[in-house]
Amino acid sequence: MYNLLVSHSRQIHEQVIVRGCRTLGSVIPGPPHNVDNSKWYRMFLPRDNNSEDFDPSLDGILFSRPYEWRLNLESGITTEAYITTEDVAMDFPVINENFTGIRNKYGYTQVVDSVATSKTGLFKYKMIAKLHFDEPDKFCSGVQFIAKKNGRDEDDGWVITYVHDEGTNISQVYIIDAKRFSDEPIAKITLPQRVPYGFHGNFFYK
């Protein structure tokens, strides 16, 4: 089991709650020299439990899924579970940073089906609203939540993500109203250069 990205953690009395994205395998440091290439690439493919040659130790183990750990500091016991189902893989989770370390309702993350499809978008935990741009040959990469300076609710703000169109080789920035997640983005900014997949960062007010 591997956990590369943590979205949030907080403490309630003797219990620490940690949420992040969990995988069953790791792409780091890369494949062993003697590995069968076909087995290595199977780790990047979506799981198909109905396949005759399905192998749970290989198929889709590099796909991360939202996960929660509850660490009891007194008993030393850890309880853990998936936050969503195992059917959808997700990565690069973020929250409204104003709620770091305290109780929060929402998390935002990139939804990943596989590198061979464009079934990508964003999830908003608890509301579980998938962003609508399930368009052919378009893939999103990374996500950031920008809180409104005078916002009152946790989801008062915008979600920003890169979207690349494989057909036109054009990258854009999508800005989405976090309270109206199923609506059209409020802005699409076309960039002069392609943004590589996996590129992500942070946002700072001046």
Known binding-site residues for Fe cation equal 200
Whether the CB-CB separation of 155 and 176 falls below 8 Å is answered with: no
Known binding-site residues equal 200
Q: Taking the alpha carbons of 169, 132, 198, 2 in that order, is the dihedral positive or negative?
A: negative
Sheet holding 65-72, edge to edge: 2-12, 15-23, 65-72, 78-82
H helices, E strands: number in the chain: 1, 11
Rg value, the chain, Cα: 18
Number of other CB atoms surrounding residue 68 within 10 Å:
16
